Amino acid sequence: MQTKYLPDADASLGMRLGHVHRLWRAVVDRTVAASGLTQPRWTVLFMLHHMGDGTTQKQLSDSLGVELPSLSRTLAQVEQQGLIVRRTPHGDRRVRQIYFTAAGREMLNTLEARADEVRTLILSGLAPADHEAFHRVLCHIESNAEHWLKGY
């Protein structure tokens, strides 16, 4: 499907990006539903994988843009499923670091396979050059926003 560029397209770009993001997450959500993971849970697992074992709850909260109490509840649920463990490093009981369990790594492999399927589905029909250009543009927008926020 080809969308014409409209004069007001820039004005609606943020809304469109948000809409596409929600749609993408909804497709992933339906694809992984059989695994027993809700969107907040699989999102936490993906972000933890990206950030690495030993990430603190605060770091994860900041990266996900969610309040620490909400994240703590989700982490408790994921921990109850046996997918992660939270540890307190020696000397600082205020900090909780998060680590994958073996079952969590196995689940992550399953999730990554489903995410690959979704990515293939959603990006189907996109020429490789368009895909690369789209990625470059998103990275540029991200960089501009981060640069502005640092100076704000």
Dihedrals phi, psi of 50, to nearest 5 degrees: -65, -40
Residue 41 to residue 107: CA distance in whole angstroms: 11
pLDDT, tens digit, 9 for 90 and up, residues 31-48? 988 888 899 999 999 999
Confidence grade of residue 92 (pLDDT, cut at 50, 70, 90): confident
7 pLDDT exceeds 60? no
Strand ranges across the sheet with 84-87? 55-56, 97-100, 84-87
**Ordered domains of the chain (ranges, CATH):** 20-112 (1.10.10.10)
Q: What is the per-residue pLDDT for 19?
A: 92
β-pairing verdict for 97-100 and 84-87: antiparallel
Instruction: Please give the average per-residue pLDDT across 78-101, as a whole number.
Output: 92
Q: Residues near 102 by Cβ (< 8 Å), separated by ≥ 6?
A: none
Q: What is the per-residue pLDDT for 33?
A: 87
